[in-house]
Structure 1
Amino acid sequence: MNTPLSGVGARVARYRRMTGRSQAVVAGLCGVTERYLSLIENGHRTPSSDVLVRLARELAVPVAALLSDEMPRSRTTALTADEGVVRALLGGVQGGQVLRPRVLRARVEAAWHTWQTSAARYTETEPRLSQLILDTEATTRGTTEAPDRRQALRSAADLYSLLRSYCRRAGRLDLALLVADRSRRAAEDADDVIRRAAAAWNLGHCLLSQQDGSEAAIGIARAGIAALDEAPPSIHRTAMTGALELVHVTADAQRRRWWQARARLETCVFGLADEAGEGNVMRTVFGPANTRLHALSLEVLAGEGARGLRLGSKVDVRSLPSRERQFTFLLDMARGYCQRREDPAALAHLLELERISAEDMIRNSAATDAVTVLLDRARPAGRPQAEALAQRLGLV
């Protein structure tokens, strides 16, 4: 007699192939042996509920998708953006003040500094954002002198760039697209070519967060690079070109076009990174270190943990001006060690992630998934640390 689990192995195999990853990679990430996963996929073993949950998490589908032939709906992310920020963006509150352009610039710069450097960036940045949105809107509407208005519009473009990052990580992809478009319009009204390119970079990252958004992201990136032809040669132009090329690389990786992504890195992006040097033009953190970080992410996503770790060993995380990028680097290193089942090294990197930003860690599903995998297969010597970390993150 058929049971609900009778076809689970075939479904696991189907969704695994859709990710472009081997049995060895998925088995390692789920804390089981390659042979055991093979037996599951061939229908010779029935996975426990715990293993079923881990497989579903790693294959990015609901558990129900492994129990039924019905294709899963897109997953939604919890809405965790601050209510005041949401209301300010959607026009639910009033009270903005017209500021002098240099005052607005200082406040936007301070918000960006906190966002990129603080271990408690959500706690410290969120209380400022709603009033800053209102004051920015009031200033851009209420400033009429051309030079001052252009400065105000530049500040608006930069603020909405920050809000794109915030909204995306808070799970509000709808608002991330909204503010990315506002950043683009402000940059266009300011007639600022570099900020227009930065707005394209922001919009490209929004599209990369959407299901099937990689093709559109590539189109936005190519258009942004073409628009930079209007700008005179400079480090800023080089860095923005490289940052947009990385959007293309990430889109290729999402479509599992590993070799195209690697080729673009080698033939184009690394040269631009060397030319631009380490920097933070328009908060893109573009440079040699960040480019190597993308190469590491590519290999981890492709399931080439050993190759990724070799690339990661060449990155000096201290050279990255953004705590967020440091976090991403260490997370990819932890995932690479998880793939190779080098759990002590993976745990060490996860503990460093917690030190850099516990707030980011609890909001990042890849980080919490890695902690769960380590906890599930922890040996007695490493279990106390893994359990303590899981408890601090509210996972147990």
Structure 2
Amino acid sequence: MTHTLARSGHAERAARLAHQAASELDDATGLATTDAVAVYGALVLRGAAAAARSGDHDGAECFLDQATRAADRLGRDGNARWTGFGPANVDLHRVNVALTLGDAGRAIRLARLVRHDRLLSAERRVSLFLDVAQAYALWGRQESALGALYAAVRIAPQEVRNRPAVHRLVHGLCTRAGAGVRTRATAFAHAAGIST
């Protein structure tokens, strides 16, 4: 529900729901099991993303701090209840929250700290590189943005090809970047199956 609300333009409501549900889960379970901690952690990460979408920097940071405490409690990355929750996933969300809040420099700095080998799924590794590409593009470093896109497509081409944000980013590189990057971005788009 939190994810759906945030994606459909109701980010503040999504953040409130995440907070309420996380509190209820904590009260009901005492977070006494790995499953409960993982679900709680995944929920507060959704809350962080929703708060960032609504421009609530403090709320997003509060959710991220809760997620960090839950991840520290687990002590490892895992996939309890299919959450993929753990310390590396929290780090990945810190990058995304910084990007969503418009702080490209912070997103890049945080991305450098993420342990790629601990991200359990190709989708998560691709998400990291796509956030990095968007941050570099916001920062005006088109060549680095394109490099991050190439890294993402090497991991999972289908993940790159099917994301609207990637299409917008590649279109921007193909139309607004310098001549050298524009040529390489057009070649990337063609190879990845992205229309420009």
- Give the TM-score normalised by structure 1: 0.46
Equivalent residues of 1:204, 1:221 under 8 A apart: no
- Where is the helix percentage greater, Structure 1 or Structure 2? 2
Equivalent residues of 1:218, 1:251 under 8 A apart: no
Quick one: structure 1 residues 304 and 217, their matched pair in 2 at CA, closer, same or farther if it must change by over 3 Å? closer
Quick one: structure 1 residues 223 and 259, their matched pair in 2 at CA, closer, same or farther if it must change by over 3 Å? closer
1:212 aligns with 2:10: yes
Equivalent residues of 2:174, 2:183 under 8 A apart: no
For residues 109 and 171 of structure 2, what CA distance do their matches in structure 1 show? Answer: 25
Aligned residues: 193
Gap runs ≥5 in structure 2: none
1:305 aligns with 2:104: yes
1:366 aligns with 2:162: no
Report the counterpart of residue 295 of structure 1 in structure 2. 94
Alignment of 1:199-348 (within 5 A): 203-212=1-10, 214-216=12-14, 218-219=16-17, 222-223=20-21, 225-228=23-26, 229-230=28-29, 233-266=32-65, 268-276=66-74, 277-348=76-147
Quick one: structure 1 residues 264 and 320, their matched pair in 2 at CA, closer, same or farther if it must change by over 3 Å? same
Equivalent residues of 2:174, 2:185 under 8 A apart: yes
What is the CA RMSD across the aligned residues, in angstroms? Answer: 2.0
Report the counterpart of residue 174 of structure 2 in structure 1. 375
Equivalent residues of 1:270, 1:288 under 8 A apart: yes
For residues 220 and 340 of structure 1, what CA distance do their matches in structure 2 show? Answer: 31
Runs of 4+ in 1 over 4 A off after TM superposition: none
For residues 9 and 71 of structure 2, what CA distance do their matches in structure 1 show? Answer: 29
Report the counterpart of residue 28 of structure 1 in structure 2. none
For residues 348 and 291 of structure 1, what CA distance do their matches in structure 2 show? Answer: 24
Identity across aligned pairs (percent)? Answer: 27
Quick one: structure 1 residues 347 and 261, their matched pair in 2 at CA, closer, same or farther if it must change by over 3 Å? same
Report the counterpart of residue 357 of structure 1 in structure 2. 156
For residues 312 and 352 of structure 1, what CA distance do their matches in structure 2 show? Answer: 14
User: How big is the shift at 1:254?
Assistant: 1.4
- Give the TM-score normalised by structure 2: 0.88
For residues 342 and 306 of structure 1, what CA distance do their matches in structure 2 show? Answer: 11
User: How big is the shift at 1:253?
Assistant: 0.9
For residues 353 and 373 of structure 1, what CA distance do their matches in structure 2 show? Answer: 17
User: How big is the shift at 1:348?
Assistant: 0.7
User: How big is the shift at 1:216?
Assistant: 4.3
For residues 220 and 311 of structure 1, what CA distance do their matches in structure 2 show? Answer: 24
User: How big is the shift at 1:300?
Assistant: 0.8
Q: Name which one, 1 or 2, has greater alpha-carbon Rg.
A: 1
Equivalent residues of 1:205, 1:217 under 8 A apart: no
Alignment of 1:1-396 (within 5 A): 203-212=1-10, 214-216=12-14, 218-219=16-17, 222-223=20-21, 225-228=23-26, 229-230=28-29, 233-266=32-65, 268-276=66-74, 277-392=76-191, 393-396=193-196
1:204 is aligned with what amino acid?
A: T
User: How big is the shift at 1:362?
Assistant: 2.3
User: How big is the shift at 1:230?
Assistant: 3.6
For residues 340 and 232 of structure 1, what CA distance do their matches in structure 2 show? Answer: 40
For residues 92 and 48 of structure 2, what CA distance do their matches in structure 1 show? Answer: 12
Equivalent residues of 2:45, 2:67 under 8 A apart: yes
**Secondary structure in 2 aligned to 1:279?**
coil
